Amino acid sequence: MVNRALGAPRLTGPQPPDKPELAVQARAQAEPLIKAGDSHLADGVFSVAMLGCALCVLALVGLIVYELVTKSSLSWHASGWRFFFRSEWDPVNDQFGALPFIYGTIVSSILALIIAVPLAVGVAVFITEMSPPWLRGPLAFTTELLAAIPSVIYGLWAIFVLVPLLRLYVEPWLARYLGWTGLFEGTPFGIGMLAAGVILAIMIIPIISSITREVMTAVPNHQREAVLALGATRWEMIRTGVLRNARAGILGGVILGLGRALGETMAVTMVIGNRPEIARSLFAPGYTMASVIANEFTEATGDVYLSALVEVGLALFIVTIIVNILAQFLVWTVTRGTPARANV
């Protein structure tokens, strides 16, 4: 989504000649282009080559589905649907249940959304509606810089900065004041579900915020003017004139962020603790679908073990595809009709 924020390049093309002598001149300039292969055969070859590239894209997705389905069939035949509802993961005895990973993926992603959505929407509201014009560009660029940081660097930073911070300050505080909820009990290790949720939140803020910005910019200005003309304050204008009109698109951005969080691997693997168990407390270590593949794929010894990991991958693939399609549909309902790159 970063590319949306880049300005449209200025287009300078040859202008159509309006006088006969200019046409002759232009014709003379175009001579080398005309000579360089003016045949139906060349045209045909070119269009087929481009079609081939386009079909490659289709073939790739086909290949992904084919690979995942065939390589996971062994595990599917061994466990069937039970694979997704069992919680023991015991490679030694060839017992595989993906429930702890599904649980970890869902909980860490939802936690990330709870933290990220208000912040991302706040940033988007500030940039589009409140910020002085000169600050808009730099702010948008800076938040998008967050999207350019590789996952492994987030993980590195989380291990050495975020986790100690959580262990020493945040988690004891949460345990003291919110411990009664049962979500924040046990020893504050730092490493665990909470750390994964926080680092995921930081990682998905740019995507949610840039989509929110895009759909808010797509709201026509006369909506704002109409509300302001009724004497609204700026917040009332944003709430009734902008957010209400853009809500489907914002939801789309949030779901797109969810898709990113579900599939995120490295940073989560580095801080979640990697233990396949289901605990109520967010301080406890967990495991996600992506992390278990990352950690165990190269070490998987048995055929069923490898197949079970691929099946986890297949499940992750299906879920993220559904989530992404839903998100794109929602964003499209708001931004359709507006020129794709008229914003920034």
Site for another protein in 105-144 (CB under 8 A): 118-123, 125-130, 132-133, 139, 141-143
Q: Report d(CA 205, CA 120) in Å as an integer.
A: 5
Residue 273 backbone class (left: φ over 0; alpha: ψ -120 to 50; beta: rest): left
Residue 20, interface with another protein (CB under 8 A)? no
- Considering only residues 77, 150, 176, 177, which one is a binding residue for another protein as defined by CB under 8 A? 150
Q: 192-224 burial, b if ≥16 CB within 10 A, otherwise e?
A: bbbbbbbbbbbbbbbbbbbbbbbbbbbbeeebb
**Size, binding site for another protein by CB under 8 A:** 118
Rank residues 62 and 182 by Cβ distance to another protein and give the closer one: 62
Residue 262, interface with another protein (CB under 8 A)? yes
Of residues 288 through 327, those in contact with another protein by CB under 8 A are: 290, 293-294, 297-298, 309-310, 313, 316-317, 320-321, 323-325
Residue 6, interface with another protein (CB under 8 A)? yes
Residue 89, strand partner residues: 96
Rank residues 75 and 217 by Cβ distance to another protein and give the closer one: 217
Residue 67, interface with another protein (CB under 8 A)? yes
Residue 92, interface with another protein (CB under 8 A)? no
Q: Report d(CA 244, CA 267) in Å as an integer.
A: 34
- Considering only residues 22, 114, 152, 168, which one is a binding residue for another protein as defined by CB under 8 A? 152
Residue 86, interface with another protein (CB under 8 A)? no
Q: What six digits make up the tokens of 38?
A: 């003016």
- Considering only residues 100, 253, 263, 285, which one is a binding residue for another protein as defined by CB under 8 A? 263
Rank residues 28 and 92 by Cβ distance to another protein and give the closer one: 28
**Nearest-approach distance from CB 223 to another protein, in angstroms:** 11
In contact, 190 and 262? CB cutoff 8 Å: no
In contact, 289 and 205? CB cutoff 8 Å: no
Q: Report d(CA 209, CA 140) in Å as an integer.
A: 9
**Nearest-approach distance from CB 54 to another protein, in angstroms:** 4
Residue 278 backbone class (left: φ over 0; alpha: ψ -120 to 50; beta: rest): beta
Rank residues 188 and 241 by Cβ distance to another protein and give the closer one: 241
Rank residues 56 and 178 by Cβ distance to another protein and give the closer one: 56
- Quote the crossing angle between the two packed helices 303-335 and 244-263, to the nearest 10°: 160
- Site stretch for another protein (CB under 8 A), options 1-9, 76-84, 87-95, 185-193: 1-9
Rank residues 14 and 93 by Cβ distance to another protein and give the closer one: 14
Residue 170, interface with another protein (CB under 8 A)? no
Residue 236, interface with another protein (CB under 8 A)? yes
Burial of 11 (0-12, 13-18, 19+ CB in 10 A): exposed
Q: What six digits make up the tokens of 232?
A: 């609204």
Residue 169, interface with another protein (CB under 8 A)? no
Give which of 327, 344, 154, 321 is closest to 257, Cα–Cα: 327
